[in-house]
Chain A
């Protein structure tokens, strides 16, 4: 059965490729730092399960040291000039979209096929990893098609991939780092501490204030943890279940679903949700690393108000 570990092997190969591509870029004064950074990640994907927890911890420290002390940089090499790209764009026309669209298309059709046809019964792919595995297949197919059709120099995909990877740089591993920070926060008992603190200031008598505290607590704790998943069980235990559901008799389905969505408004406003907020800023090469958050706050706040009103009016009819 194809599971996540197959993808880890593939991802390790891609990161090793970034390492090679970075080392080849002589216009990057810090190219060996970049090469080492991507090689460590490749090692993590290939051998992470054999390093042991402390070994992985040391690997993380090495990654942090390389990034934190600014040992990675970017090259100035452009493989194609803007004029060349324009010519190529005119020459190949809209067919250039096809390889790019092959990836989502493979994921789309494949997911449908594996969930709604007899293919499901063959146990070919681990059900928990179906979309990611299909995404991986899409990438391989798109790469083969591109090579056969465009006939680029043989190492072009490594050079171009590492050009993008180095543009994103350290931000690429931030989501993984934040996930481990979440594990440490939980191990240090932060969830229970915060839950108890919020639980201690519950207002009595006013359903609206309790709803407000529940929603704002979801937002605040989500912003700290970087995702609403960590916040929900804590806030449900502190306010959602004892006060809103048991004491005030609110509809549990509304409180559960909309409470979580209130937390999602917090996700839009925090750098801790790095894969949604910081990584895209790096990927789109914004000058302000908080540019995406800035663009989201004016949607998040009215939407939070809407969620509070939905909670209040729909849960307590």
Chain B
């Protein structure tokens, strides 16, 4: 058995840990792994190109950016914040719990592309979560704003991952069915998707608990009580304002 290609994995881990440009890391790791695996350079290049071309569908989602950008220019994020500011009792945690339930249920119905980071999180969910946090906390320092935004994205992922397998015709269920069938174990998609439900419930409970804890953490340091907040004047943490370079 050829163990050398394992070095490719080490290269990826090292590259990501040292924060080199990920595209560069992946390209170098791909070429090294291919060569160590005994492929010719031209073959490696071809495999890389073929994989890239076959997976173009992953990048289709970005056709949404012109619409989102245009609406942002006309105040979409400001509107999302105003809406939340007008709802009594709306907190970051409660808002994200509602979104989590919504995302899990839609995914369980097979409607996975209806929501997502580009479709809903950046234009709607994250600005709303920020607005709700500002109400509990006052103006947010950058770390807190970053935490709220990251939690919005995390909630979307968790809702998607632990909802979609309840749907019968999702790729992962079909993959499990196919893999086990190759060993002579015959299962129906229904038998598999039923067993996604306990984990879906656990995911909802665990993540909701964390979201409620986030609410408590936000409420614990209300406006002006933080020393750090007094030191630097805060800009409103609009998502994508200039100067907030990633």
Closest-CB distance, A295 to chain B (whole angstroms)? 4
CB atoms of B110 and A188 under 8 A apart: no
Complex: how many Å from CA A294 to CA B151? 9
Closest-CB distance, B205 to chain A (whole angstroms)? 9
Complex: how many Å from CA A211 to CA B71? 50
Closest-CB distance, A100 to chain B (whole angstroms)? 6
Q: Is A132 positioned at the interface, with any CB of B under 8 Å from its CB? A: yes
CB atoms of B58 and A275 under 8 A apart: yes
Complex: how many Å from CA A232 to CA B157? 20
> Which positions 70-105 of chain B face chain A at CB distance < 8 Å?
70-80, 82-83
CB atoms of B30 and A184 under 8 A apart: yes
Complex: how many Å from CA A213 to CA B52? 33
Complex: how many Å from CA A92 to CA B48? 47
B-contact bits for A166-188, CB 8 A (1 contact / 0 none): 01001111111111111111011
Q: For the complex, would chain B's binding face be called helix, strand, loop or mixed by DSSP majority?
A: helix
Q: Is B51 positioned at the interface, with any CB of A under 8 Å from its CB? A: yes
Complex: how many Å from CA A24 to CA B113? 32
* Set of chain B residues within 8 Å of A236, measured between Cβ atoms: 179-180, 183
* Set of chain B residues within 8 Å of A267, measured between Cβ atoms: 161
A-contact bits for B38-65, CB 8 A (1 contact / 0 none): 1100101111111111111111111111
> Which positions 238-285 of chain A face chain B at CB distance < 8 Å?
241, 245, 252-254, 256-261, 264, 267-268, 271-272, 274-285
Task: Evaluate whether A286 and B149 lie within 8 angstroms (CB atoms) in the complex, with A58-B49, A185-B8 already known.
Answer: yes
A-contact bits for B142-170, CB 8 A (1 contact / 0 none): 10001101111110111001100100000
Q: Is A2 positioned at the interface, with any CB of B under 8 Å from its CB? A: no
Closest to A291 in B: B150
> Which positions 204-236 of chain B face chain A at CB distance < 8 Å?
206-207, 210, 236
Closest to B171 in A: A229
Interface residues of B (CB under 8 A from A): 1-3, 5-6, 8-9, 12, 16, 19, 21-24, 26-27, 29-30, 33-34, 36-39, 42, 44-80, 82-83, 110-115, 117-124, 126, 142, 146-147, 149-154, 156-158, 161-162, 165, 171-173, 175-177, 179-180, 183, 185, 187, 191-196, 198-199, 202-203, 206-207, 210, 236, 238-242, 244-246
CB atoms of A136 and B52 under 8 A apart: no
CB atoms of B118 and A163 under 8 A apart: no
Partner pick for B176 among A157, A182, A257, A264, CB 8 A cutoff: A257
Q: For the complex, would chain A's binding face be called helix, strand, loop or mixed by DSSP majority?
A: helix
CB atoms of A156 and B73 under 8 A apart: yes
CB atoms of B37 and A152 under 8 A apart: no
CB atoms of A57 and B154 under 8 A apart: no
Closest-CB distance, B3 to chain A (whole angstroms)? 6
Task: Evaluate whether A177 and B27 lie within 8 angstroms (CB atoms) in the complex, with A103-B64, A236-B179 already known.
Answer: yes
CB atoms of B122 and A283 under 8 A apart: yes
CB atoms of A176 and B58 under 8 A apart: yes
- Kindly name the residue among A261, A277, A284 whose own CB sees the greatest number of chain B CB atoms within 10 A: A284
CB atoms of B5 and A185 under 8 A apart: yes
Known pairs A97-B83, A157-B69, A165-B65; list 15 more (Cβ under 8 Å).
A52-B49, A58-B45, A67-B24, A68-B24, A82-B241, A89-B82, A150-B74, A179-B55, A179-B58, A188-B33, A190-B5, A261-B165, A261-B196, A299-B158, A314-B198
Complex: how many Å from CA A292 to CA B157? 10
Q: Is A306 positioned at the interface, with any CB of B under 8 Å from its CB? A: yes
CB atoms of A54 and B153 under 8 A apart: no
CB atoms of A299 and B5 under 8 A apart: no
Closest-CB distance, A55 to chain B (whole angstroms)? 7
22 sampled A-B residue pairs with Cβ under 8 A: A56-B49, A64-B24, A76-B242, A88-B73, A89-B76, A100-B123, A107-B114, A131-B113, A150-B74, A157-B69, A157-B70, A160-B66, A160-B69, A160-B73, A163-B240, A164-B69, A180-B50, A261-B161, A280-B117, A286-B146, A286-B246, A299-B210
